[in-house]
Amino acid sequence: MEWTLFGLFLLSALLLVFSIVKTYRDSKAEKKQIDLVHVSMMKEINSIQDSIRDIELDIEVVTKEAGIQLSAEEKLFMREVIDLYRRNYSIESIAEMKEVPVTEIDQLLTPYLKIKDEGGQVANAN
Range list of β-strands (E), the chain: none
- Is pLDDT of 97 > 80? yes
- Is pLDDT of 29 > 90? yes
Confidence of residue 38 (pLDDT cuts 50, 70, 90): very high
Look at residue 123 in the predicted model and tell me its pLDDT: 52
Please state the pTM of the whole predicted model. Answer: 0.53
Select the highest-mean-pLDDT range: 2-6, 39-43, 97-101.
39-43
| Distance of alpha carbon 15 from alpha carbon 7, whole angstroms | 12
| Distance of alpha carbon 41 from alpha carbon 75, whole angstroms | 31
| Distance of alpha carbon 96 from alpha carbon 90, whole angstroms | 10
What residue spans define the domains of the chain?
23-69, 70-115
